[in-house]
Structure 1
Amino acid sequence: MAPAITLAAEAPKLSAANTGFMLICSALVLIMTPGLAFFYGGMVRVKSTLNMLMMSFISMGIITILWVLYGFSLAFGTDKGSFIGWTSDWVGLSNIGLTELWPGYTIPVFVFMVFQLMFAIITPALISGALADRVKFTAWSLFITLWATLVYFPVAHWVWGAGGWAFELGVIDFAGGTAVHINAGAAALGVILVIGKRVGFKKDPMRPHSLPLVMLGSGLLWFGWFGFNAGSWLGNDDGVGALMFVNTQVATAAAMLAWLLYEKIRHGAFTTLGAASGAVAGLVAITPSGGAVSPLGAIAVGAIAGVLCAMAVGLKYKFNYDDSLDVVGVHLVGGVIGSLLIGLFASGHGQSTVEGLFYGGGLTQFWKQCAGVFAVLGYSLVVSAILAFVIDKTLGMRVTEDEEIAGIDQAEHAETAYDFSGAGGGAARTAVPAPADTDAKKVDA
């Protein structure tokens, strides 16, 4: 008998289709940050609108530069002790070939790098919603610089980097339930416990000034999230990216409906703010789980997240912490829910063969998810609180009380979002012109 011939596995080749798909997904993820800016900007009072927009936009500048200089290397470079990565050739992106492929995939390293950059940009921007009305812009800029370096880059390596401890343990996080949402939500909680509450918290009305802006922002987030989630499979040769795309839509719809039903029963009305917040809660919860659950599982994940996040936003009044725009209630709680439910609803027919409790797999995956969830939560909470404390004692985190009351937009940016007093305003348009032969002083303007 002739000896069997063993053929070496064919090395992946660059795929123009997957490369183009991932570049589109990268752009979709980037548009989520302006979407977040509008979402948050509409939820604050008029006097804080521009500051809220700028807290998201500045992340697009600072994090991009950090990512090019060393962030990509720390997050995805060669593993160092399961905690951090480092590849010196990636510093400054100066030694990466244009057609060099990301290991095991059919897209260039540059494409993977820029896709992950968009995640790094939006994650610190998420934190800003908890700090509305009261943080110096310079202090915020310094905080996100340090936070990205000491928290986001290492946690991204834990969860997604080859050799990272959570990755090796088998923690499932398809697109960022731990690395993005729990990470940002825990950081938000850590900072607000240090800097304290807004002037007038629980006393003055602090209603959203523009619900149309909130709805616009949530729509942009929903749209961009398809790139955020479906793109995280880095291609769609096996249909898993398509499954994630479908589950993103399904879970978001279920969460929005569940939130609206909850608030109708609890408060007697279906609100636009509830619809927008419910949609975001569903997007958050399906982010880690959408590649592991079926569409029916996605309905369950979304509905559970919609109700529990709606309940969680009221915790700030019970426990007396000022989470201005419910980052803790939506992103932290939603991220925890979505991550842990993998241990119950994983079907074994998506991104892996892992099965959750309800599919006969027992609680093995659930305990792995718990390890990832609470490690990221604890690390981000503690380090973020320390960073906020140090900055507060040196540079100072908060504007003065007078500046906060008058409006942080004018104090920090010397601008206002809306100008109702300029030429061409309502008074000028309705004034009655004086006849040529009449004393103008007698004409009612």
Structure 2
Amino acid sequence: MNEPDSSQPHPQPTPWRRQVPTFDQSDKLKNVFYDLRGPLAQEAERMEADGHSILKLNTGNPAIFGFDAPDVIMRDMIANLPVSQGYSTSKGILPARRAVVTRYELIDGFPAFDLDDVYLGNGVSELISMTTQALLNNGDEVLIPMPDYPLWTASTTLSGGKPVHYELDEDDEWNPNLDDIRAKITDRTKAIVVINPNNPTGAVYPKHIVDGLAQIAREHGLMILADEIYDRILYDGAEHISMAEAAPDVLTLTFNGLSKAYRVAGYRAGWLIITGPKNQAAGFIEGLDLLAGTRLCSNVPGQHAIQVALGGQQSIYGLTGEGGRLLRQRNVAVEKLGEIPGVSVVKPRGALYAFPRLDPELYPIEDDTQLMLDLLRQEKILMVQGSGFNMPDKQHFRVVTLPWASQLENALERLGNFLSNYRR
């Protein structure tokens, strides 16, 4: 046998080369939108970097308009920082959850629940995402108001569910159209979202509407997802009726938090409570517990703000009552919008927004996103178009009523001048 010739170089293997990779976004994101912080907000940030001053009316962020947190909340949170360095239990610290229970015990007719039914979260946003992930299989349907707070549609889609939008009737003060809801229920419908007081319209639902929503859920075996973060921001004597009050026999998840009524949006302190026949939802609750555990816990300093916030004097009422700053600003918004030719608005009775409409005969708008982009670039005012709230028409937009009255008046006068260029 011939020996190999060691004097000849051995051929080297051709190295494996990977093609230059490209990374696209997940298919789960293809139909997910959140225009409150979308391309328009990114353009506003670019303009700010170039030195422009932008009036940001895209989010309900009280702090940037001079709404400071009550001192007692900050002092309590600071005092607890030394004991906030570690994780808490998955559902949250005991004093904060006990304070949530006590808050609702003081509401006549609110069904009883205990500490184990309370979940604390990094704002309501995180708890919404956890809920849809724990509840939905691919193709399950969720009834969501139109216009909506777009996180509900985004979270439903990301969880594999199908958002089905039901009509809020502008001619009926933006109340839900109960007949439209009934017509859209199928055998895949799992839950109905109720946002009351409403974002973006400012509607506060009367008793017969709340009772009607409860009856629909009862008849069709639906879970109620009640987004009630504005329940203490009410005007003109409006009364908030919780969905859990109207439907104590229906599995109801109530979402609330400190971001708005206590002006601490950055603390990310929210809660979710479960009421109704929990024996019907053992699997769902097990899934919610799993997700609460995988995120470890919500931020602990923010949890320590909850107990002090929910006790004692509620300063929000001084802002929403007679002579209060929020009430004055709501009134200015309604007055100044009404002065713009071809603009109408239903007077908000709650929350921090108005949702005006452009008369299509005077304003033949084909692209409401472009309209808001033009407003941003010309007037340095950032608002969100109606389609960002899943409205099918192009005639609506949302006004945040948080700026000082004089600032809001000036902004809406500039809006009127801007719109004059679009009038037919």
TM-score, normalised to structure 1's length? 0.28
Higher relative strand content: 2
Higher relative helix content: 1
